[in-house]
Structure 1
Amino acid sequence: MHQHGIDAWVTRRRLRSPDRVALVHGAGATVTYAQFADAVDRVAAVLTELGVGTGDTVAYLGENSPEFLQVMFGTVRLGAVFVPVNTRLAPPEIGHVLTDCAARVLIHDPDFAVPVAAALPAARPPLVVVTGEGTPDRPGLATLTRDADPARAGHADPGPTDPAAIVYTSGTTGRAKGAVLTHGNLTWVALNCVVDYDVVSTDVALMISPLFHVASLGMGALPVILKGATMVIERGFEPGRALAQIARHRVTMLSGVPTTYQLLADHPDWAATDLSTLTKLTCGGSAVPTRVLDAYEARGLSFSQGYGMTEASPGATALPPAMTRAKQGSVGLPHFFTDVRITDPGGAVLPAGAVGQIEVAGPNVFPGYHGLPEATAEAFTADGWFRSGDLGRLDDDGYLYVSGRLKDMIISGGENIYPAEVELLLGEIDGVVSAAVIGVPDDRWGEVPWAVLTVRAGASVDTGTVRAHLDGRIARYKLPRNVVIVDELPRTASGKVRKAELRARFAG
C-alpha cells in the first residue's frame, strides 16, 4: 500500500500523534488525532454504504465544522472527489455546482435545507444527508456515523495525479468553473506553507475564514494537519469572539483578508486582548493598508501577505513579515516550490519593472477545469504556465506587485490605470475602511476612474478629500473623478471585490 494521497495524512497522524489535539470547536470541545481518524473511518464507511466509489463526487454545504473535514478526508479515501460548496450562493448557483460536478451525495447543515430544496437538480439529484442527528425517517450524519462499521469502508489508495477536490471559482469574470485539484496539488501547497510560513506541530491556528474557500482549506487546514498542529474551528467570523478565542487558546496562527484584520483592530476588546502568542498572520485578497499595518505593528505583530488563485490551490507568492515595510505593496516572492513570470500580450517574458500578465507554474497548479477542455486549453500557455488573468510586475529582487485584473485595467485617454495602485493609497486615508477603483465610460477619455469606498461611521470622506490625498503621489490621470460611498462592497467568499457588479451599478 503506497498511500500517496492526502487521505493517508489522517492515518499517519493517528500513528504519530494520536493524543495530540487536532481540533477545538463549539464551546471548547476537543478532538484528538486518533478521534479524528476514527471519525474519518466512519464517514468513509457511511459513504461506502451510500454507493460512493472512485470518481464519484461528494458535495458539502455547511459552515466550518469538524464534519467538513471528516467528510473531505472520508471522501478522498474512497478515490472520490470532494466538492465544497460556497454557503453564500443562491439556489440557482448551488444547483449549477451540483449539476456541473454530477454530485452523487450532498451533505449539508440543516440551516441550508430551504436553499438545498430549491437547488436540487431535477435530473439525477444527489442523495441528500444532513449533518447532526436528523430524523427517525431521515437519519443525519451523526446518527449514520455512530452506527457505521469502519471495517466496511472502502479504500482506493489515490495517487498524486488523482483528483481530490473540485473547487468552484468565485466567478468574478463569469459563471463559476470547477477547478480540479489533485492530491499532489494539495500536498504541494501545504508543503509550500510549511516552508514559507514555518508551520510547526505546536502551532494553534484559528480558522475564522470559511473552509469552503480554497485559501482556508489549502493554506490553513491542510498544513496544520500535515504538521500535526491544532486547529480552532469557528463557524463564522465575529471580531469579539475571535479576539476571545485568540487569548483563550493561545492562538499562534491567523489568516484573513484586510477587512478581517481591520475589524479586529477596530473592536473595543482589541487593546485589552492578549495577542502575545500570535506569530503568524497571513493576509490575502488585496494589499494591507498602511493604517492596518500600523495598528498591528503597535502590538508587535507583522503580516505575511500573499497572492494566489483557486487554480494554484491557491498559493502563488508570499511576502515575508520582515519585508512588509521594505516591500510595502508587494505580495512577495514565489512560494518555495512555485514559479512566477510576467508576459506581454504576445507571450514574451517581460523584464523586471514591466507590467504584464502574471503566469504561474508549479506542482500546486491545477491540471484543468472540470468538463471544460476549451477553457483549460485557453488557461495554459504552450509551455505549461497558467495564465492568471491578473496584471503585475516583478521588481529587481523578484518580488511581485499586483496591478489588478486584466479585465479591470482602466484605459483613460490611452493611458493604463491599474486599480490596485490607487486602492493601496486610498486605504491610507483616515476613515476609509475599504476601496475599489473602477472604470466608468467617458465621452472624452473613453474611461475615467471612480473610487467606491466604505468608510468608518462618523468619518467625512469625499471627492475633494480623496484627490487631495492622492495629488502629487500618482499621475493626475489616475485621480478618481468621482467618489461614491457605499455601505458595503460586493465581495466573493475569498474577499475579492466583485468589480463587475460595481461597474454595472455605476457605469451602466
Structure 2
Amino acid sequence: MVIDPADRVTYREFDESTRDLAAALVAGGVGPGTRVGLVMPNCTDWVRIALAVTRIGAVLVPLSTLLTGRELRAQLTVAAVTCLVTAPEFRGHRYLDDLSAELGDRIHPGVVMHPGVPALRRIWTTDELLGARPEVRCAAVVSALDDAVTPADPLTVVFTSGSSGTPKGVMHSHGGALGAVASGLRARRIGADTRLYLPMPFFWVGGFGAGILSVLLAGATLVTEPIPSPETTLALLERERVTLFRGWPDQAAALVRRAGDADLSALRVGSLDALLPPQARAARGARANLFGMTESFGPWCGFRADRDMPRSAWGSCGKPFDGMEVRITDPETGSPVPQGGTGEIQLRGPHVMQGICGRSPEEVFTRDGFYPTGDLGHVDADGFVFHHGRSDDMFKVGGATVYPSEVQAALATIDGVESAFVTRVDEAGGPRVGAAVVCRGGLTVDDVRATARTVLSSFKIPTVWLLLDSDESVPRGGTGKVDGRGLRELLTRAHHESPESAATGPHRTEGS
C-alpha cells in the first residue's frame, strides 16, 4: 500500500497494524468523535496512525510540520484537539518544546491538563504510540467501533489558509471526503496497478486525499518520502518503477534538470509532462488543470489526465465532477452573472465540507447552501470551468480589471518562458501589473514584453518585470503554493532597487 525510503507495508499488514494501534488509542481514551492531532513527516507510519484513528470513528486533525509553537497552540485550540500524537523532532522543530515555550509551562507526553490548551488531555510521541503493546481487552471494542462508523460521521479537520488569510479548520465527513476522492480517480487515472508518487505533505488535503485515500480506494500503491529532494526523489521513482507522478510543474522541471540518466520509463501519460518523453507530452493547455480546494476535499472538477480536452476548452479546469453544482455570481452583489461571465465561483454538492470550526453555517454558506469560494472564474457553454484567480488577487489598473492567472497563462505561451508569476505592485499612482518570469535562451524583458503585446490587452501587460533563471526564488508557503504576499514583496523590492531596469529593461536574478 505505501512505500517510503525505509519501509514498505502491504494492505494486509496495514489492516493488522492499524487494528493494534486503534486498540492502543482506545485504551488511552480515544473513541468516536475524539479529535486526534497528528504532526509528523510523510512516511508509512503517518498512514498507519491516521487510519487507526479514523477506523474507530475518531477525527483526524493533520497538523503541519512547519508550525511554530504559537501556531500549534492556536490550531489545537481551534480544532478542540483532545489527543495529540507528535514526532519528537523534525527539521529543527521540537514540537513539545515549542508548545511549552509558547505556554510558558513545561508540557510532557502523557496526561495533560493546561488552560492554555484547554481541550487537550493526552499526548503521545509517535515512538510511544507505535511501540505500544496491543490491548487484547480492547480488540472487541475496536471491531465494534470499526463497524459502527457511518458516512455521515466526521472524518477529519484539515487546516487551510488558502492563498491568504488566517488558517481555518475545515470539517469533512467520511462520505463527503471519500466521495470527493472517488469522483476524481478516473480523471487522475489512478487504478489498482498505479504506483503513485506524490510530493505533497500528508497534512495537506492534496497529500491525505489525493495520495493516501486515493490509493486506498483504488487498491493502488503510494510512494512517499519525508523530505523530497531531486536526488532522493529520482532514486525512488526509478527504484519503485513509479507510474504516476502528480504534483506541481515546477517540481517536475527541477527533477528534469537533475535527471541525468535516471530511468523514468515506467511513468505513464497523466504524469506531469516535463517528466515524460517529448512525444508523450500534451500541447500547452490541452489537458485540464485539476482544480479544487480544502473545502471541497481536493479537486471538484477535471478531465481525464491522459486525454486532450476539446480545443475550445484548452486552458480550462475541466468539468465539475458528478453531483457538484457550480454557479458564477457577481462578487459584490452575489447575483448570478450571465452565461460565460466572470465572477465568484460558488459550490454546492456532496463533497463540500460540513463546515468550519467555530463558524455557524450562516457564516459559511449562502441561504440556499452554496459555498462562496472566493475564486473567480467562468463556465463556458459546454460546461468547462475556467479559473481566473482569487477575488482578493483581482485588481484594477486604470479602472480595468486584471486577473493575474489570465496574464500568467498568456505569458507562459511565449517561446522561452518556462513559467510566470503575476501579481499587483502597489505604487502611489495605483496598482501596476508585476511579473516574475522564468526564462531560458537569453530572453530579455524587451523580448518578453514585445511578444506579450501580441497576446494581452495593453492594460494587462506587466510594467514591473523580474526575469529569473529558476523558480526556486519564488516565495512559497508550506504546501508549495505561491505566497502572494511574498511575491508582491519580491517584485516591489526588485522594482525599487532597480526601477528602470525592472520596468523597462533586462533584469535577472539567480535562483537561490
TM band (smaller chain): 0.7 to 0.9
Partners of 1:506 and 1:299 lie apart in 2 by 36
Match for 1:116: what amino acid? L
Please tell me whether the aligned partners of residues 61 and 84 of structure 1 are also in contact (alpha carbons under 8 angstroms): yes
What is the DSSP-based 3-state SS (H/G/I as helix, E as strand, rest coil) of the residue aligned with 1:111?
coil
Matches within 5 A, 1:492-503: 492-503=477-488
Shift of residue 347, structure 1, vs aligned partner: 2.9
Q: Does 1:228 align with 2:219?
A: yes
Match for 1:408: what amino acid? D
- In the superposition, relative to structure 1, how do residues 127 and 171 fare at CA in structure 2: closer, same or farther (>3 Å)? farther
Calculate the TM-score normalised by the size of structure 1: 0.83
Shift of residue 197, structure 1, vs aligned partner: 3.1
Shift of residue 356, structure 1, vs aligned partner: 0.7
Q: Does 1:405 align with 2:390?
A: yes
Q: Does 1:472 align with 2:461?
A: no
Partners of 1:45 and 1:299 lie apart in 2 by 52
Shift of residue 281, structure 1, vs aligned partner: 2.4
Matches within 5 A, 1:168-179: 168-179=159-170
Q: Which residue of 2 aligns with 1:490?
A: 475
- In the superposition, relative to structure 1, how do residues 144 and 296 fare at CA in structure 2: closer, same or farther (>3 Å)? same
Matches within 5 A, 1:100-139: 100-112=78-90, 114-119=94-99, 122-124=116-118, 125-132=120-127
Shift of residue 338, structure 1, vs aligned partner: 2.2
Shift of residue 64, structure 1, vs aligned partner: 0.9
Q: Does 1:203 align with 2:203?
A: no
Q: Which residue of 2 aligns with 1:289?
A: none
Shift of residue 51, structure 1, vs aligned partner: 1.1
- In the superposition, relative to structure 1, how do residues 167 and 40 fare at CA in structure 2: closer, same or farther (>3 Å)? same
Give CA-to-partner distance per residue, 1:423-443, whole Å, 9 cap, x none.
123334566554322222344
What is the DSSP-based 3-state SS (H/G/I as helix, E as strand, rest coil) of the residue aligned with 1:408?
coil
- In the superposition, relative to structure 1, how do residues 337 and 106 fare at CA in structure 2: closer, same or farther (>3 Å)? same
- In the superposition, relative to structure 1, how do residues 420 and 100 fare at CA in structure 2: closer, same or farther (>3 Å)? same
Q: Which residue of 2 aligns with 1:162?
A: 153
- In the superposition, relative to structure 1, how do residues 173 and 377 fare at CA in structure 2: closer, same or farther (>3 Å)? farther
Please tell me whether the aligned partners of residues 25 and 232 of structure 1 are also in contact (alpha carbons under 8 angstroms): yes
Shift of residue 88, structure 1, vs aligned partner: 2.2
- In the superposition, relative to structure 1, how do residues 148 and 213 fare at CA in structure 2: closer, same or farther (>3 Å)? farther
Partners of 2:150 and 2:223 lie apart in 1 by 29
User: May I ask how many residue pairs the two structures share in their alignment?
Assistant: 463
- Structure 1 window deviating more from structure 2 (84-93 vs 147-156): it is 147-156
Shift of residue 115, structure 1, vs aligned partner: 3.5
Q: Which residue of 1 aligns with 2:290?
A: 306
Partners of 1:421 and 1:229 lie apart in 2 by 36
Q: Which residue of 1 aligns with 2:241?
A: 250
Instruction: Work out which of the residue numbers 37, 40, 47 in structure 2 matches 1:62.
Output: 40
Partners of 1:92 and 1:434 lie apart in 2 by 35
Q: Does 1:274 align with 2:254?
A: no
Match for 1:372: what amino acid? R
- In the superposition, relative to structure 1, how do residues 396 and 494 fare at CA in structure 2: closer, same or farther (>3 Å)? farther
Instruction: Work out which of the residue numbers 436, 440, 446 in structure 2 matches 1:452.
Output: 436
Q: Does 1:23 align with 2:8?
A: no
Q: Does 1:417 align with 2:407?
A: no
Partners of 2:23 and 2:134 lie apart in 1 by 11
Q: Which residue of 1 aligns with 2:31?
A: 53
- In the superposition, relative to structure 1, how do residues 148 and 488 fare at CA in structure 2: closer, same or farther (>3 Å)? farther
Please tell me whether the aligned partners of residues 462 and 483 of structure 1 are also in contact (alpha carbons under 8 angstroms): no
- In the superposition, relative to structure 1, how do residues 37 and 316 fare at CA in structure 2: closer, same or farther (>3 Å)? same
- In the superposition, relative to structure 1, how do residues 461 and 145 fare at CA in structure 2: closer, same or farther (>3 Å)? farther
Please tell me whether the aligned partners of residues 365 and 372 of structure 2 are also in contact (alpha carbons under 8 angstroms): yes
Shift of residue 109, structure 1, vs aligned partner: 2.1
Q: Which residue of 1 aligns with 2:326?
A: 340
Partners of 1:223 and 1:465 lie apart in 2 by 44
Q: Which residue of 2 aligns with 1:362?
A: 349
Unaligned segments of structure 1, at least 5 residues: 1-21, 133-139, 283-292
Please tell me whether the aligned partners of residues 46 and 148 of structure 1 are also in contact (alpha carbons under 8 angstroms): no
Let me know the Cα RMSD of the aligned residues. 2.7
Give CA-to-partner distance per residue, 1:263-285, whole Å, 9 cap, x none.
1222233x652324424327xxx
Shift of residue 90, structure 1, vs aligned partner: 2.5
Q: Does 1:371 align with 2:376?
A: no
Partners of 2:424 and 2:373 lie apart in 1 by 21
Give CA-to-partner distance per residue, 1:166-189, whole Å, 9 cap, x none.
000135331100000111111111
Please tell me whether the aligned partners of residues 17 and 48 of structure 2 are also in contact (alpha carbons under 8 angstroms): yes
- In the superposition, relative to structure 1, how do residues 432 and 127 fare at CA in structure 2: closer, same or farther (>3 Å)? farther
- In the superposition, relative to structure 1, how do residues 170 and 299 fare at CA in structure 2: closer, same or farther (>3 Å)? farther
